[in-house]
Amino acid sequence: MTVTACLIVRDEAELLEVCIRSIHGFTKDVVVVDTGSLDDSPDIAKRLGCTVFHLPWQDDFSAARNFAIEHATGEWVLCIDADERIELACSRDDVHRMLETTTCQAFTAEVHSYLGQRRNSDFVFQDQRVVLFRRDPLVRFRRRVHEDVTESLSLRYGESLAIGKLPLVVCHLGYLDTIVEKRQKRERNIRLLQMEIAEHGSSPWIEYCLGTERAGNEQWDQALPLLEHVVYSGTGEERFWLPAAYALACCYLKLERGEDCSTICSMAIVHDHDMHFHFSLLQSEARFANKNSLAALLDGEVCHSLQSEQDVFAFSARYLVLFRQLWQKSGST
């Protein structure tokens, strides 16, 4: 049983070595496709034993990923990014034994995307993503940006498609503030999403991606109609509905529409999910903005939804900020 890891990189020297060394805990067979680095990324990859190819950037992440897959030789293909790293929950041998006997054609992993100033910051978005699949000429990525392989897997295997879950976590650092600003990542993604819409039309997923990119760029008015359409026309079961709802609630809050923010949070809180804490705290902030009341901060019983020590610290920090704001506005000394 063999696994080839496939990465696409461009100017990733700061993060690449840590990423590759984490992959080595899973497989030593790593294909790196460089799309035009001006730094030492290709040399770092070669020094660490990777097979390096060069491909001119074509404004298309799927094209680059698929080029990497074409050079994979393993029975399985592992796809992660250079701004990510793998944390295994068991030994490599245990994972390989599982792959030798499984009937699944693909596996998801839990992805922790860190937002804010640093890892272990106030907000960590947890998601599931297909990161490992059987090498097959009919399985390829689609879309220019926020590319995905699940549609291709569904077309290839139909009703027989079985997707398991890997015992590992992928830590994604690419949306930390310093990295986003350095790469002008949001401007690039907005441009590619607009190209995708012009070529293939829109979809709820594309609207979600474009809406969150515009919200991340503080383009609240432009993000609002996109996110409203995704949230209000969705069933609540789509895997991106909750992050879309959170982005929409943030837009409402930034546009001083606190009641609308609180309403969206109430819709989301009825779900049993790891984001309950974040919606509860956001709703408290919205009610604080509306009522200017200390009781509003305590409403909702936020504490029962805390999932981790990290959440406790995040809640405490945010609560103290709001408390100081309220104290100042009330004129108390």
Per-domain residue ranges of the chain = 3-177, 202-330
Question: Which residue carries 């804010």 as its tokens?
Answer: 116
What pLDDT, on a 0 to 100 scale, did the predictor assign at position 156?
A: 97
pLDDT (0 to 100) of residue 95: 92
Measure the CA–CA gap between 310 and 122, rounded to whole angstroms: 8
Q: Report pLDDT for 279.
A: 83
Q: Which of the residue ranges 72-76, 114-118, 268-272 has the most confident prediction, judged by mean pLDDT?
A: 72-76
pLDDT of residue 278: 76
Predicted confidence at residue 164, as pLDDT, reads 97
Q: List, in order, residues 6 or more apart from 56 with CB less than 8 Å away.
A: 35, 36
What is the pLDDT, as a whole number, of residue 12? 94
287 has a pLDDT exceeding 70: yes
Rg (CA), the chain: 21
Per-residue confidence band for 91, with pLDDT thresholds at 50, 70 and 90: confident
Residue 223 has what pLDDT? 96
Q: How far apart are CA 165 and CA 46, in angstroms?
A: 31
Model pLDDT, residue 321: 60
- Range 277-299 average pLDDT: 65
Query: In this predicted model, what pLDDT tens digit does every residue of 199-251 receive, in sequence order?
Result: 999 999 999 999 999 998 899 999 999 999 999 998 877 788 988 999 999 99
DSSP summary character for residue 238: S
Strands of 106-115's sheet, edge to edge?
51-54, 30-34, 3-9, 76-79, 123-134, 106-115, 163-172, 84-88
| CA atoms within a 13 Å half-sphere pointing along the CA-CB vector of 65 | 21
- With vertex at residue 36, the alpha carbon angle to CA 175 and CA 137, rounded to the nearest 5 degrees, is 85
For residue 211, the model assigns a pLDDT of: 95
What are 5's strand-pairing partners?
Answer: 30, 78
Q: ∠ CA(309), CA(313), CA(317), 5° rounding?
A: 170
pLDDT level of residue 294 (50, 70, 90 thresholds): very low
Q: Is the pLDDT of residue 309 over 90?
A: no
Who's near 118: CB < 8 A, 6+ residues apart?
176
| Predicted local confidence at residue 307, as pLDDT | 47
- Report residue 319's pLDDT band, with 50, 70 and 90 as the boundaries: low
The pLDDT value recorded for residue 303 is 43
Where do the DSSP E strands lie in the chain?
3-9, 30-34, 51-54, 76-79, 84-88, 106-115, 123-134, 163-172
Residue whose structure tokens are 């293939």:
200
CATH of 3-177, one of 3.90.550.10, 2.40.420.20, 3.20.20.140, 3.90.380.10: 3.90.550.10
Q: Which helix (H) or strand (E) holds 241?
A: helix 241-254
Please give the single-letter amino acid code of residue 181: E
Q: Each residue of 119-148: pLDDT tens digit?
A: 555 567 778 899 999 999 999 999 999 999
Q: What is the pLDDT, as a whole number, of residue 82?
A: 93
pLDDT of res. 132: 98
Mean pLDDT of the chain: 85
Written out in words, the top-level CATH class of the domain with range 202-330 is mainly alpha
